[in-house]
Amino acid sequence: MQNNIIKIYKKLESIYPSIKTSLKYKSIFQLLIATILSAQCTDKIVNKTTKKLFKEYPNVSDLADADIRNVKKIIKPTGYYSLKANRIKNTSKRLRNNYNSKVPNNMEDLLTLDGVGRKTANIVLSVGFNKNVGIAVDTHVIRLSNRLKLTKNTNPEKIEIDLIKILPKELWNKFSILLISHGRNICRAKKPDCSNCILNDLCPYAKEILKN
């Protein structure tokens, strides 16, 4: 299994640029907020939304004191805007009150923030602080990990554990981004392009599709 995941990693690395995230931000705080907003939403829409959001509320105190009605109006395109607006305001207040307006650089404290689960925390630690603490598992990572038979689980936390067991720690940061990139471009939820997939010789799902 470990040899297989290394082959997968190397093939994906050969076709995707070395990017950490497609989210646009100017501070770790903005990265955190953008990542919270990215739940059930494309990065393209998030980037368009945060351009306006961060122009009005660029830092922790600005967003903590923001009119919630205006925040909801701005972030409406990202979906679940009422829930997300409350979460990013609550998180901003907690950062100001408990962390001197600084984003924590450890998993334990990040998980105390409203709207922050392990996926968001892993992204912030990896991209913002260059820390290899875990593997961010989103819907793309869930789908590809199962199609590639790297896990039998569908629960994000269990998938993260499974991937951590078979992937060298120094590759954790980039592996998630590679799977996400491949999920968006080739291994889509509907109509995956298995015939043009660089992994089709390693992927049980692709082999089954191409056999028929």
Q: Which residues are tagged catalytic?
A: 119, 138
Structural tokens at position 150 = 């790297």
d(CA 59, CA 157) in angstroms, rounded, equals 31
**CB distance 34 to 50 below 8 Å:** yes
- Whether the CB-CB separation of 53 and 71 falls below 8 Å is answered with yes
Max distance between CA atoms of the chain, in angstroms, equals: 59
CA atoms within 13 A on the CB side of 203: 27
Residue 33 CB neighbours (<10 A): 28
Q: Which of 183, 179, 173 is nearest to 122 (CA)?
A: 173
Count CB-CB contacts under 10 A for residue 59: 16
